[in-house]
Structure 1
């Protein structure tokens, strides 16, 4: 039995802060926030210009209709002085900012439209104030599109700015019609007691903007967004835990993006990486599935699959929002997407989708991944500073997992020969991991094999044999103990010699611990990730839990935390052929009862209630039944 030192337990928040499931009130108004639709997003600080981001600090904030930024920021002013927000309320669908002027409250609600490249502002109590927009034209980071100049024009009596070389256009409209003037790149409106201001932009020109402005209504857009975010799937009790799960789900939906000419998918994070990534998407698909977001999971998979099919079945690392592939793919990303195909089938039971993508998934492994050797040498995960040297353990582990998944899929469709070959390859890689990567002296897996030599850089991927269930149980216990002693600092450090803690690493370590019934340690990882909620941006789960250096909202942080939480409490396995569900339930302190409501599995909705005396199971449509726990 692995014992966790009390000193480590005291670092963890064992109960949760009370807050509402649909809104988060924030008085730290120096923090950046994000407000998203499907086509556009706003990143800003309430009381400063949008100088946010890590890679390009002055260019990542503002109002974006990718691949272009159209606004740097906006602000309220009284007699030339900017008003400072006293608080902001982050809702799933909008952001409410509160100001005070001469004892009176001014409210500004900011709404990024769901399916339009439009920003809508509703301002109350603002008579005598000015609303000022700072117009800008900046291409997204890594975009091939060149910077351009904006030229003032008029659209139906309202101010508009058009790119000189390209087709980009931004148009302002107001209700009621408000007086306005333009000073260089600033548009200034004189507000009435209650005003609505629309800003609509498109990189593709006038026709798109006119279409999106037609019939635009703040209330209609608000209802559309509420409907989008009001997903009834996966409701947890008690409410303290359920509220955090709601925000995990909301973070996932904030990352759903629709890019014209590319498709729908989930982007990696804000503000630095609001485009599509192979590894981030694959790591996040199980979280999307646990959340019940089947459609988003399928579309995200298909987007990467489509690009891989045009790239010799190599899954790209990143696809910028203008379609540029900046990195054509690291080695672990291709097998991870194959694993995602099996994950999708496990939750949805969609055999048509599985069969439709089986040929391509098989080519990914046979014709790309193992083209020259069973486990290729070369780049593993991006964060590894030694990623180009030797054979990487993450590449091996995910290769074994992908062949294991392919074996199951081919068996399902009656291809026993290919199934056996895939199983054979999976076993060979597992043997490689346990015979060549395992270092008995260090009681840890090496992360690299180079010319027959084990190299241990104490990089977090060395725990992946637990996540992929490759490690024998006795070795898994030793790895967990060593990781706790050498790699733990309120979460799993990315490297022993550095302080950086990424929730994705902590989550995968937690899942690995749950796989080997190291439940207390696994749950501690879940708790420290939940503890990072709102660290650097209200209502967001960050890329790095102990530093503001990374994205303040990171897709895989939210997705893998949700996956680890559900996996740890339920130990869920789904047999779609028999329509059976198996559980390995675990109820941590201080809970007496945890209820999973409206859990989406196939075409059914499942309710599971964990108590100290057992599990209560209900199937809404009677499609699935529970079998004895394994």
Structure 2
């Protein structure tokens, strides 16, 4: 049923028309637009695309024009609306106005504005009413509810009276995989109490949603206070639609506001009511607290650089990272992968993202996410293997791909370097130890140190010895050796170091393809390769990539002409994972530079193609886009994670200007469709908010360009900068390292004098600035700084709060 027709039907069926002309109470309302410190307006051409209003308990997804169409594919058409995981509360809501002549449905806002804390829809001057209407909403921290408020401004010189119809579309239903945890979806029922609160409940389960307004006083005085309209919901599922109608008088030149509070619980009606009451009574304070918290978050790792677009994207990605926190009672609190279709927990997404979260000081959520992944993995697998995907009801969909387990080990070491908490390391090292044992004993079938099985590329049949699994396994053993050293496990340390060294040598020797100047996608048998080639030819031909078809056929001919009885490396797909040896800094330098140059052939204006054989005519240019298929698929996609891996790899081999170029490509997606956000697939497809995006900014900017590399357990912060040549004046302030805070400032004067200034807030930590040895430079530095040269490195160190260094050419 068309929503416009539905609204007309509902208004025609309305049983409740309150003829009170009293003012709506304004004591609990606030105009969000008075907070303009950070706000971004959307584009008119993207009004018909998704947005999110995010809280850590409740979030809402709709379209920027204020409508709530069916969207999403994980639960087909159901990923929008209002969610309080592990249940959905509403498909949406709407407002219509009734004048003496017209019924006007507010279903198409003219403008969308995004804030860190919420968003607003501007419906403009509504035709034939002299009214200007806006809708604003936010979800308070740690609350199972959200607030929506409408502002109606009378732009005329006459008093105006209008009928207002509030439409609420319930859809109380379980999240994905609910059937695995005995969650059912019964018919929704609704009643209204004397205060005008709508009580929705599921007929079979303890799912509850309450929708209240601050027009309750009007409703309480009405003789028809318990009458309202209902109709079966036109959306999929067992929902129901309720209609409430009010009259409102708006004096000439004045504004009236009314709020809607939505709350819900999958445990009891009492909890839902308690949350609703708390939000109704205290939401202005909750809004101010959320604004203050996010403003504080923005000040952590505060970036100031010449490229203001990157600077702005970095700030908003901190907010994006906050939007993805999901807290579910009795299950856990952690970052989720993406909205709208991945609002639950993943192993690998977290293993990339949390490294970025540490660089922006979001340490609490890092540790709670790790605790969640570790506890569930232990319960489900019990052998150190880390899960891949888990719904918010506790059901684990995939107990783990192969790469998740080694990447977890490296995540633990990385977090420990920032928090310096030995108890943290002791807590998770047993999982690391068990995971590495499982990896080599259960997954390395031929004992060649390359585990078999799926890595990041989820292509059917691509499950032999994958390059990303090999690279992450090598890094895991190197990082586990470092952990073992800290924990005094010398025998294990030696074993892990030897294994790491062997795997690194084997990757460079056995995965390298001189023909393609690239690491191979995988090592496998001729039979495996030929099967994959046939599928790849079909894919490339379907996508009209004749160059790829020609290359694949040539590879097929070579395999048949020169068969091998043993597994060997193959370059078939040019998948982005061939760049992981550079991301992990495993590749020999000469191979790394060749491979990075090869990788540039599989990039377009927005970043790296997921699968290189999908590249199109935009590759190598600064013009291009991505048009996703009608059915969700990553085929032909350019994604932020592959681009992030390329950025990190370029920096690892001393090419910050090339790294910056890829960062600029990725930043072209920022605010492209949803203002203040960056899609998963560049520039405007897939998830509208994606967790691992912060990996592509936090790690390159904080750890590589500015060079902040902490060893918090030693109370040492290394500064090893490699600044892009165009960033001659740059700063990064308030970087959190354990209980210390680091700031780094770079400045170049017109005369060419360069200055590096590093500060810390805690005494007795060592600041150690390391620069490549350059005999053409004269250094001068502040009192208390020691200087020594070791090999090809100049080292400047202090235990004071300031390290200031000036550089001049001789």
Segment of structure 1 superposing worse, 335-344 or 570-579:
570-579
Asked whether the 8 Å contact 2:42–2:674 carries over to 1, the reply is no
Q: Within 5 Å, which residues of 2 pair with 1:251-266? A: 251-266=320-335
The answer for the alignment partner of 1:63 in structure 2 is 82
SS in 1 for 2:608: coil
1:292 is paired with a residue whose SS is: coil
Match runs of 1:21-420 below 5 Å: 22-28=38-44, 29-45=47-63, 46-56=65-75, 58-79=77-98, 80-83=103-106, 84-99=108-123, 100-101=125-126, 102-125=129-152, 128-144=163-179, 145-155=183-193, 157=195, 158-177=197-216, 179=219, 181-184=228-231, 185-190=240-245, 192=248, 193-216=256-279, 217-230=282-295, 231=297, 232-238=299-305, 240=308, 241-310=310-379, 311-312=381-382, 313-368=384-439, 370-373=441-444, 374-381=449-456, 383-386=457-460, 388-420=462-494
Cα separation, 2, equivalents of 1:129 and 1:23? 29
- Paired with 1:268 and 1:387, the residues of 2 have a C-alpha distance of 25
Are the aligned partners of 2:481 and 2:494 in contact in 1 as well (CA < 8 Å)?
A: yes
Sort the Cα spacing of 1:502 and 1:369 in 2 relative to 1 into closer, same or farther, 3 A. Answer: farther
Paired residue for 1:476, among 587, 592, 596?
592
CA distance in 1, matches of 2:604, 2:90: 42
CA distance in 1, matches of 2:590, 2:708: 23
Q: What SS does the corresponding residue of 2:638 show, helix, strand or coil?
A: coil
Q: Is it true that 1:618 corresponds to 2:754 in the alignment?
A: no
CA 1:156/1:150 → structure 2, altered by over 3 Å: closer, same or farther?
A: same
Note if contact 1:581-1:627 (Cα within 8 Å) is conserved in structure 2.
Answer: yes
**Distance between the aligned counterparts of 2:502 and 2:728, measured in 1?**
44
Cα deviation for residue 131 of structure 1 reads 2.5
CA contact (8 A) 2:55 2:141 kept: yes
Gaps of 5+ in 1: 1-19
Larger relative contact order (CA 8 Å, sep ≥ 6):
1
Query: Any conservation in 2 of the 1:59–1:138 contact (CA below 8 Å)?
Result: no
Q: 1:571 aligns with which of 690, 707, 729?
A: 707
Q: Answer whether contact 1:332 1:398 (CA < 8 A) is retained.
A: yes
CA distance in 2, matches of 1:492, 1:149: 46
Q: 1:446 to 1:368 in 2, by over 3 A?
A: closer
Q: How many residues align?
A: 609
Taking the aligned partners of 2:244 and 2:694, their CA distance within structure 1 comes to 39
* Structure 1 residue 47: Cα displacement: 3.9
Q: How far apart in 2 are the matches of 1:155 and 1:375?
A: 65
- d(CA) in 1 for partners of 2:441 and 2:605? 37
- Structure 1 stretch 417-426 or stretch 388-397: which is displaced more? 388-397
Task: Please give the alpha-carbon distance, in whole angstroms, between the structure 1 residues aligned to 2:602 and 2:728.
Answer: 33
Is the aligned partner of 1:593 residue 2:729?
Answer: yes
Number of the residue aligned with 1:455 = 570
Q: Structure 1 CA distance, aligned partners of 2:39 and 2:502?
A: 50
Write the distance in 1 (CA, Å) between the matches of 2:122 and 2:684. 28
Q: Deviations over 1:402-453 (max 9, x none)?
A: 1111100110122111001111111121122111111112110001111422
After TM superposition, the structure 1 = structure 2 runs for residues 555-570 of structure 1, keeping only pairs within 5 Å, are 555-570=691-706
Q: Is the 8 A contact 1:270 1:552 kept in 2?
A: yes
Task: Check whether the contact 1:378–1:392 (CA below 8 A) recurs between aligned residues.
Answer: yes
Contact 1:278/1:304 (<8 A) preserved: yes
Inter-partner Cα distance in structure 2 for 1:341 and 1:536: 35
The whole-number CA distance in structure 1 between the counterparts of 2:71 and 2:492 is 50
C-alpha spacing 1:387/1:306, structure 2 compared with 1 (3 Å) = farther
Report the Cα offset of residue 96 of structure 1. Answer: 1.7
Distance in 1 (alpha carbons) for counterparts of 2:734 and 2:708 = 15
Shift in Å, 1:161: 1.3
- Structure 2 residue aligned with 1:7: none
Structure 1 position 608 matched with structure 2 position 744: yes
Instruction: For residue 206 of structure 1, report the CA deviation from its aligned partner.
Output: 1.2
Q: What SS does the corresponding residue of 2:178 show, helix, strand or coil?
A: coil
Note the C-alpha offset of 1:60.
Answer: 1.0
1:294-336 CA-partner distances (Å, limit 9, x unpaired): 1111111111011122212211101101000000100000111
Q: CA RMSD in A?
A: 2.0
Helix, strand or coil at the partner of 2:138:
strand
Change (3 A) 1:528 1:166: same
State the alpha-carbon separation in 1 of the partners of residues 411 and 426 from structure 2: 14
Contact 2:477 2:499 in 1 (8 A): yes
Q: CA deviation at 1:479?
A: 0.1
Secondary structure class of the residue paired with 1:153: strand
Instruction: Name the counterpart of 1:432.
Output: 506
Local SS of the residue matching 1:540: coil
Structure-1 separation of matches of 2:356 and 2:461:
26
2:229–2:244 contact (8 Å) kept in structure 1: no
Deviations 1:121-167, CA, capped at 9 Å, x for gaps? 12222764323221123332333233221012345542211111111
> Which range moved further: 520-529 or 231-240?
231-240
8 Å Cα contact 2:109-2:122 kept in structure 1: yes
Deviations 1:560-611 (A, max 9, x none): 3332232341233223344222233233354331111111011011110122
8 Å contact from structure 1 (residues 51, 59) kept in 2: yes
Greater shift after overlay, 425-434 or 217-226? 217-226
| Residue of structure 1 equivalent to 2:532 | none
The CA deviation at 1:21 is 6.6
